[in-house]
Structure 1
């Protein structure tokens, strides 16, 4: 039986679960999610494969946990790093930046590809995990329209389109055909111009969004 380093069994299980999800994140930096095996994850986490199955019964459950963690991290980062009084255009630019950086930090197949390999139930669960980010983006679009920065658009539908554009940058980024800055500029400026933002403002917002650093609010 593995040595329990936490004060309680519950804390030990929580620590081990975190280590497993962190192992998936580390493995994605060198191989695609579709190529990662449960054996790989167990070895990276420093536990036995049998122990891994005590936490996650199969690969779909493991990937869903990983996706949930990535989503949570991106949303937390957006909340922490975005200056409180930014314009809607700058908030959108920062959102796109965090999404694109997430693609590079944790490479993985698109949701449709994962759904094809993991099954329809897992695909729906993956879609549910993306929903919070979609709602966050829709809120930015709605606020921008209310503030007079953006033209009024169907926020939910427009958010899906923007996320699709971000997803379309996955292969160019992973193949080295585009840099982070290039992908960010393409998606952000195209989106802002489509929302009625003039070229100069769109360019400045894009640059500010890409340069955003963590700061005290």
Structure 2
């Protein structure tokens, strides 16, 4: 019988998943998804090859479970930070900062690579985890327009433009000592692009 890690079966499963996800994260960064195998993840996580199949039947299911957990944790942090921000402009600045800090510290293979490596249904499940984040951005913009802090504009145009800007790796691919300055510049750019009325601009 396999050794149980922790005081209960639920705790054992949670710890195994945490070790597997840590191993997957490292291998995604180092190798890319196409080179990842369940066997390589199991070996790095010190989990038996048979045991890992009890949790994940294949590496696509593993990736979806990993993305679900990472996205849920990020949305929790995002909601907490946005709740503490004072007004729509501050919330938009907070959103931009969090997105870019996440981009700087977290690297999945580019969307095009995933799209070609995964079955279409699996890729749609992975991509769908951006939906709650995009919805927060829409809510911020709607509140900004409702309160007069932002000019009226079409969210269907503005949201994908902001999202595209915040997905540009060039913004955060800088030496660590310059990351804060780069993110500050990106925040000013986005606020200016949407016509935010701030103390700096006086508009």
Q: Is the 8 A contact 2:145 2:151 kept in 1?
A: yes
- Residue matched to 1:114: 114
Quote the offset at 1:139 in angstroms.
0.8
CA distance in 1, matches of 2:156, 2:50: 43
TM-score normalised by structure 1 residue count = 0.78
The gaps in structure 2 that reach 5 residues or longer are none
Greater mean alpha carbon deviation, residues 78-87 or residues 119-128: 78-87
Q: Is the 8 A contact 1:135 1:156 kept in 2?
A: no
Quote the offset at 1:154 in angstroms.
2.7
Please list the CA deviations of residues 161-204 of structure 1 after superposition, one character each: whole Å capped at 9, or x if unmatched: 21111112x256347699533542343222211221257537xx
- Residue matched to 2:186: 187
Q: How does 1:68-87 map to 2 (within 5 A)?
A: 68-82=68-82, 84-87=84-87
Quote the offset at 1:30 in angstroms.
4.2
CA distance in 1, matches of 2:73, 2:41: 20
Q: Is the 8 A contact 1:100 1:180 kept in 2?
A: no
- Residue matched to 2:57: 57
Structural RMSD (CA): 2.9
Greater mean alpha carbon deviation, residues 178-187 or residues 92-101: 178-187
Q: State whether structure 2 residue 57 is matched by structure 1 residue 48.
A: no
- What count of residue pairs does the alignment treat as equivalent? 202
The gaps in structure 1 that reach 5 residues or longer are 203-217
- Larger relative contact order (CA 8 Å, sep ≥ 6): 1
Quote the offset at 1:155 in angstroms.
2.7
- Residue matched to 1:206: none
CA distance in 2, matches of 1:27, 1:5: 23
